Amino acid sequence: MGRTSSLPKRLQPMLATLTDDPFDDPAWVFEDKYDGFRMIAEIRDGRAALYSRNGKLISRSYTEVAAALEMVKGDAVIDGELVAIGKDGVSHFQLLQNALRHEAKLLYFAFDLMFANGEDLRKRPLLERKERLKTILPRHGLIGFSRHRKGKGRKFFAEAERDGLEGIMAKRIDGAYASGSRTPDWLKIKTAKRQEVVIVGFTAPRRTRPFFGALVLAVREKESWRYIGHVGTGFSHQTLAELHSRLTRLQVAKSPFPAKVKDETVTTWVRPFLVAEVKFAEWTTKGELRQPVYLGLRSDKQAKDVVREQERLRSM
């Protein structure tokens, strides 16, 4: 499934397909699935430009990472993930929020090489691209190479579960790089269910909690907004305050839904603009999230691109 981006087609990242179970296969390699956000690095004439997945130029927000990538050997376009490492040594998506940056160490994990010194590598096999990538990366504390293991996906997934990681990536060894496309050659296998959501409203404060009670969530479906539930847990006091400040500037008069949803009488509706991520137990038969927990905002995603993520069986 393609997606729109302000990035030129050649710079748009390849997207992975969600699948259900880990597997063993000698034709595949397995990598960590990092709990951060996608970042494309374009290095040209010793200067690095950093782009989010939706094409936003973010070099000024991560000047230290850009400076480190300027040490790459030659011109290149690199695909990777920016993560924030907490005091426990594990990456945490929440720590990428601006207010929490001081509590974490930033690290850019590079995992693919699209171009090198003007040469288009996207049709080359994955492992060849990764070998080329490894040779051009600088030795720097902010830059990491995403290592992989061949064939043994089940064991790797069990280790990810044990260590509290988000999941693993499975990639076909001989696969090409499909810019801007979601293909079955890259699969993501998560240890917990997660979903990107669009915030379309918030309810009045409850009991001793200030600012708001819960967020009203939606995804895009057939050119309209589909209600998928409320989330009322996972917020710190600081997060409540910052979210409320941003949401009050997006207020609108009407609900985006064709039918009524719960707590409408105490709901303030907002323009569908802010994208967040939640973890949850399961989807209900009504298509709503069961036991969602707020994780943080996704500045690298656009509201119009947020749909319910569907698991697909792996093709052999």
Catalytic residues: 33
Quote the DSSP letter at residue 302.
-
Judge residue 201's burial from the number of C-beta atoms within 10 Å of its C-beta, 0-12 exposed, 13-18 middle, 19 or more buried.
buried
CA atoms lying within 13 Å on the CB side of residue 191: 20
Tokens of 109: 């994990």
Length of the chain: 316
Alpha-carbon distance of 271 to 253, in angstroms, equals 9
Please work out, in degrees rounded to the nearest 5, the angle formed at the alpha carbon of residue 191 by the alpha carbons of 189 and 192. Answer: 110
Contact status, residue 188 vs residue 194, Cβ threshold 8 Å: no
Joined together, the tokens standing for residue 145 give 């190479």
CA–CA gap between residue 167 and residue 192 (Å, rounded) = 8
The two tokens of residue 63 are 């000047």
